[in-house]
Amino acid sequence: MTKLSDRVKQLSPSPTLAITATANSLKQQGHNVVGLGAGEPDFNTPEHILAAAKDAMDKGYTKYTASGGIKELKDAIIAKFENENRLTYSPKEIMVTVGGKEGLYNLFQVILNDGDEVIVPAPYWVSYIEQVKLAGGSSVIVEGKEENHLKITASQLEEAITSNTKALILNSPSNPTGMIYSAQELKELGDVCVKHDLLIISDEIYEHLIYDGKPHVSIASLDEEFFQRTIIITGVSKTYAMTGWRIGYAAGPQEIIQAMTDLQSHSTSNPTSIAQYAAIAALTGTQEPVATMLSAFKERRDYVIERIQNIAGFRCITPPGAFYAFIHIKDALGSKYGSVDEWSTALLKDELVAVVPGSAFGADDYIRISYATSMDNLKEAFDRIEHFVHASTSLVSK
């Protein structure tokens, strides 16, 4: 008889992956499904990155590498942090991971003991909670209020800290909300972390996907004491349309990075050799494809916000970053649906539009849609959503 471990029995499946799998299954059955669930660019990886991968294969760079990544990629990452974020790291303070997700997983494994607490602002990315749980820790959820653009404040952070608190995790720009913490907001949060001797985990995977001229600020760049306690987790997946290449990277205190590297040596051994050479091209080559994708995402964002504003019962704070719209839809449920989860399931069944209910992110009154898809798909999806809302609630467009 199969006997699973207690820690695995605690896990909840990823709702975003589940929604995507259901949508793909319906597509395979011949249904015309419009998927707004997946958090990945619809563009292919840029040509110069593909060429670098082919060149690496042709040169025979297909063997094991150092567990924490090849020197050439570490050098490119160090230069990236210096040039873009005003942060100076040594090679021993950098590691390459199998995607940003594995970087976070490794980090929680090496810093958490049973009973340690991690403060997680909500709305949150779905895997934070499960990864903390797998490391024996507990997530303390702090709700970002709508009046503060779904971000937490320093006073909220202070109130949530206990003797068991080990770290704060920040995600800016945010998945699922697209919100960005300003330098002042980060400074206030960082001061609280210094006061209580907390680690800061800064998930910056969407740092290049920012609109309207707003800057990205890494909390580690604001104060030397912040720098000394911050671990940055990021990668090439979102910026360069490289989700399947699985290359992330981490930067932080040498002791923590070394422990993460040691752990990785016993799990994946090393990130894929070919993908590492592709990532070098991504970081050091032309950034023109990034600008092209960013322009397309902004056009789509603006279209999505306009459509949302014309659906009765919907409201959404315009997201300054990432490629998600986090839409408050509680007022559109009417009496027919008892929850956003039920509404989202019915939308997929009746109109073949896949969205992710906010319960996956700790915000029950919302849905998340990704606008990292074509304009044609977005137009079709919102036509169907408008029809669904009108038919199910008798609410009419403004």
Q: CATH number of the domain that 250 lies in? A: 3.40.640.10
Q: How far apart are CA 190 and CA 182, in angstroms?
A: 12
- Structure tokens, 195: 């006061």
- Structure tokens, 19: 């929604």
Instruction: For residue range 3-19, list pLDDT tens digits in order.
Output: 899 888 888 877 777 77
3-class SS of residue 94: strand
Q: Where does the pLDDT of residue 63 fall: very low under 50, low under 70, confident under 90, or very high at 90 and above?
A: very high
Q: Where does the pLDDT of residue 24 fall: very low under 50, low under 70, confident under 90, or very high at 90 and above?
A: confident
DSSP 327-383: EE-GGG-TTT-SSHHHHHHHHHHHH-EE-EEGGGGT-TTEEEEE--S-HHHHHHHHH
DSSP bridge pairs for 328: 315, 366
- Beta strands 324-328 and 117-122, pairing class: unpaired
The pLDDT of 330-337, averaged and rounded, is: 90
- Beta strands 230-235 and 199-203, pairing class: parallel
pLDDT given at position 394: 58
Same domain flag for 235 and 326 = no
Instruction: For residue range 260-310, list pLDDT tens digits in order.
Output: 999 999 999 999 999 999 999 999 999 999 999 999 999 999 999 999 999
Instruction: For residue range 140-155, list pLDDT tens digits in order.
Output: 999 999 999 999 999 9
Q: How far apart are CA 227 and CA 363, in angstroms?
A: 31
Domain span at residue 296 reads 6-44+288-390
Structural domain ending residue among the three candidates 284, 317, 338: 284
For all residues of the chain together, what is the average pLDDT? Answer: 95
CA atoms within 13 A on the CB side of 221: 16
Same domain flag for 249 and 231 = yes
Burial 115-134 (b: 16+ CB within 10 A, else e): ebbbbbbbbbbbbbbbbbbb
| Residue 357: C-alpha distances to residues 65, 180, 326, 354 (Å) | 40, 21, 10, 10
Number of domains in the chain: 2
Looking at the domain assignment, is residue 53 inside a domain? no
Q: Where does the pLDDT of residue 38 fall: very low under 50, low under 70, confident under 90, or very high at 90 and above?
A: confident
Give the percent of the chain with pLDDT over 90: 90
pLDDT given at position 1: 65
The pLDDT of 105-123, averaged and rounded, is: 98
Looking at the domain assignment, is residue 49 inside a domain? no
Same domain flag for 160 and 19 = no
Residue 187 confidence (pLDDT) above 80:
yes
